Amino acid sequence: MRGLTYKYEDGTMALRDVDLSIERGEKVAIVGPNGAGKSTLLNLVAGFRMPFSGRVLIEGRELNHENADELRSEVGLVFQDPEDQIFMPTVEEDVAFGPRNLGLDDIDARVTRALRSAGIEGLAKRRPHRLSYGMKKRVAIAGILAMEPEMLLLDEPTSGLDPRARLELVKLLREMDKTMLIATHDLEAAAEIVDRAVVLNVSVVMEGTMSDIVMSKKVLQDAGLELPPVSKLFDAMGRMGYPVDSLPVSMDQAVAELTRVIDREAKRTSELRGPGNPRSDRKSRQSDARGNGD
Ligand SMILES: Nc1ncnc2c1ncn2[C@@H]1O[C@H](COP(=O)(O)OP(=O)(O)OP(=O)(O)O)[C@@H](O)[C@H]1O
Ligand SMILES: [Mg+2]
C-alpha cells in the first residue's frame, strides 16, 4: 500500500496516506478501535473498493478496475459478518461458489480440503443460514480457502466465537502456511498468530511485534485499545519490582516470560544474598515481617 487514502461518498475520511508492505508468507495484524478503517483497508486490498488516492500493489502490479477480478483469486477476503458472504442453500454449495465462479478446476477436491481445514467436514449438507454464528464464520472461511488464495484477508475472524472455537481458529490460522492480513481487536489472538502488527487509526500509528505494541501505553490509549489481562498482570509485576523484560500478550508468551522472570529473580536473589548476607532476599524479609526468623 502506497499513500493509500480513502474517503466515503459522504465525506468520511476512512484512511489517510497509509504505507504498508507485507512480504509473502508473512502474517500481519491490523489493530485499531471501531471506525479506524480496518475493514476499509481490507476491502481496498481485496479490490472491492478502489482508492481515493494512492495505490495497492500486489506482487508489483497495481490493483485497478480491470484486473480486480483476476487478482481476487490471489487475495481472498473473509468478511467481518458471515451473513454478508453466505448465500447458497447448502454449506458445500456455498463453499464451492467462489472457485466455481472463478472457473477453477477440481471443485469437489477443493471443497473437501477447505471444509477439512475449517474443521466443518460434517456440515457439508447443512443449510448455512440455520447454523450458529461461529459455524457460519467457519463456512465463510472455508468459502475463501476453497479458492486457495495466496493471501488471506480476515476481518475480525475471532469475534463472536466461543472460547473453544476461538482457540481452534487461532490454531488453524497459526499453522496455515499463507500470507495473512488480519483485522482484529483481539490482541491476544493476534499475538498467537502474527509476526508483526500495525496499529491503525485512519493512518498508521505504529508497527512492531504485539509485545512492542502493548508496551507502548500511550499508543494503546490513544487508539482506544485495552491491554489484555495477561499483559496487565506482567505490567503490575514490573511495577512491583520483579525483573519483567517484555510484556507478554498471549498465554504462551506469558509462560515463557514467567520462566525467565523466575530465573532472573533467583539469580538476583542469590547475588544479593551473597556468602555473608543470608537474610537479604525477599523470603527472609517476609519472615522478618512475620517475626518468626527463618
Ligand atoms: N459505507 C460507508 N459509508 C460511509 N462511511 C463509512 C462506510 N463504511 C464505513 N464508513 C466509515 O469509515 C470509517 C472506517 O470504517 P471501517 O468499517 O473501515 O472501520 P473498522 O476499523 O473496520 O471498524 P470496526 O472495528 O467497527 O469494524 C468509519 O468512520 C465508518 O463510519
Ligand atoms: Mg471493521
**What would the mean pLDDT of 83-89 be, rounded to a whole number?**
93
Instruction: Give tens-digit pLDDT for 154-192.
Output: 999 998 888 888 888 898 899 888 999 999 988 999 999
* Closest C-alpha to ligand 1, atom 1: 8
Asked if residue 292 has pLDDT above 60, the reply is no
- 140 C-alpha to center of ligand 1: Å? 21
- 212 C-alpha to center of ligand 2: Å? 23
Asked if residue 257 has pLDDT above 60, the reply is yes
Which of the pair, 119 or 240, is modelled with greater confidence? 240
Q: Specify whether the CB–CB gap between 149 and 76 falls below 8 A.
A: yes
* Closest C-alpha to ligand 1, atom 7: 8
The predicted model scores a pTM of 0.86
Cell 486457495 found at:
148
Instruction: Give tens-digit pLDDT for 90-108.
Output: 999 999 999 998 888 999 9
- Report whether residue 8 contacts ligand 1, using a CB cutoff of 6 Å: yes
- Specify the pLDDT at position 172: 85
Asked if residue 282 has pLDDT above 60, the reply is no
- Report whether residue 286 contacts ligand 1, using a CB cutoff of 6 Å: no
Q: What ligand 1 atom has the least distance to the C-alpha of 15?
A: 14
Mutational test site, ligand 1, from 4, 6, 8, 52, max ligand atoms within 8 Å of CB:
8
Query: Dihedral of CA 87/139/162/180: which sign?
Result: negative
- Specify the pLDDT at position 5: 98
| Integer Cα distance of 267 and 249 in angstroms | 25
Instruction: Give tens-digit pLDDT for 12-25.
Output: 999 999 999 999 99
Structural domain spans, the chain: 2-219, 231-290
Which of the pair, 172 or 53, is modelled with greater confidence? 53
**Cβ contacts of 140 within 8 Å, gap of 6 or more:** 78, 79, 82, 85, 86
Determine phi and psi for 281, rounding to 5 degrees. Answer: -90, 170
- 53 C-alpha to center of ligand 1: Å? 17
**Strand order across the 196-201 sheet:** 75-78, 151-155, 179-184, 27-31, 196-201, 203-208
- Specify the pLDDT at position 100: 93
Residues, Cβ < 5 Å to ion ligand 2: 38-39, 80
Question: What 3 state SS string does 112-154 have?
Answer: HHHHHHCCCHHHCCCCHHHCCHHHHHHHHHHHHHCCCCCEEEE
Q: Which CATH architecture has domain 2-219?
A: 3-Layer(aba) Sandwich (3.40)
